[in-house]
Amino acid sequence: MIDAPFPLPWSQERQIYINFDLWRRLTKPQRDLLLLYQVSCLTGVKWLEPDIYQGLV
């Protein structure tokens, strides 16, 4: 229903492709949750997050 390729680290674009034939079959709350989930997964990617443990190593 939703296809979102994993973004490359240097790319600022986060594209989401929606199959609207299947999209119409969902209720509005289901659509909202699915889109929210997908967007949060794409924007929550942590490429390099140095912390205290990585600094010690």
Per-residue pLDDT of the chain (57 residues; tens, 9 = 90+): 888 888 777 777 778 888 999 989 999 999 999 988 888 887 776 656 677 776 666
pLDDT score for 29: 93
pLDDT score for 25: 93
Task: Transcribe the chain into DSSP letters.
Answer: -EE-PPPPTT------EE-HHHHTTS-HHHHHHHHHHHHHHHHT--S----HHHHH-
- Which class for 7: exposed (0-12), middle (13-18), buried (19 or more C-beta within 10 A)? middle
Predicted TM-score of the model (pTM) = 0.63
Domain residue extents for the chain: 2-56
Strands (E), 1-57: 2-3, 17-18
